[in-house]
Amino acid sequence: MYMLGAFVAYYGAQLLHLPFFAALIVAPILVGAFGLGIEVTLLRRLYGLDPLYNLLLTFALVLVIEDLMRLAAGALGSPYQAPDILSGATNLGFTVYPTYRLFVIVVCLIVCAAVYVGIERSRLGARIRAATEKPELTRAFGINTSRLVSGTFAFGAALAAFAGVLAAPNTNVAPNMGDSIIINTFAIVVIGGLGSILGSIVAGFALGVIAAVGAVLYPPISNTLIFIVMVLVILFRPAGLFGTPERSA
């Protein structure tokens, strides 16, 4: 989804001369719709089975989509330009930092905060949490849980696409760009605690910092650090740093 988002932005820019800011909106919408389609037609059939089947089906879809994109776009990445206003560097007083990266940091913080507030504090968020924790009971209260779950899935896909567009100017747009992050993302979510937005956010930022510090202190370890942390977290705090304990161990 992350990769698809970047690609939508890229094609948008190529074919329609879609500006970056428009891509930031259009790509998540398209990918979100695509995610909704997948959820409604495919993933929904697997609810009630072992959740590992979900994982496996999405794994299969990732393989298919990734190779389709390789077929359509070639394996090599294409550079993607950030808009002119965001290029260059900004003097922050204590250091000079590339403007685009600064923009990404600010936007990410805003989006993370918005999602956190949305899930933890709003009425809709409360329903979503209820629907994932006790679906039968939530349904009994007259809430359409399957629509909620579909919406949440689509929203998650849209967010991933949003991140993909944001990342596009920094990395290259390539079919395997999702590859390098999918495992890390999984690890971050597990470390933060499944179902804990705050946990994921904190773990995401913390691991970014840890990996960077590790890279400075002892470069070979920076890639493995995240997995070492994950394994330790699963062993000693299986629910994740911010999660509530596992219901059935």
40 is a site residue for other proteins (CB under 8 A): no
The answer to whether 4 and 65 are in contact (CB under 8 A) is yes
227 is a site residue for other proteins (CB under 8 A): yes
Site for other proteins in 145-184 (CB under 8 A): 183
Judged by phi (left if over 0) then psi (alpha if -120 to 50, else beta), residue 9 lies in alpha
What the block records as the tokens of 196 is: 């804990």
The label of the residue with tokens 């691991």 reads 207
246 is a site residue for other proteins (CB under 8 A): yes
Report the C-alpha gap between 24 and 121 in whole angstroms. 26
Query: Which residue type is seen at 162?
Result: F
**Per-residue x/- marks for other proteins, 90-129, CB under 8 A?**
----------------------------------------
Stretch binding other proteins (CB under 8 A), from 85-93, 134-142, 151-159, 219-227: 219-227
229 contacts: CB under 8 Å, gap ≥ 6: 187, 191, 207, 210
Site for other proteins in 181-210 (CB under 8 A): 183, 186-187, 190, 194
| Interface residues toward other proteins, by CB under 8 A | 42, 45-46, 48-53, 55-57, 59-64, 66-68, 70-71, 183, 186-187, 190, 194, 220, 223-224, 227-228, 230-231, 234-235, 238, 246, 248-249
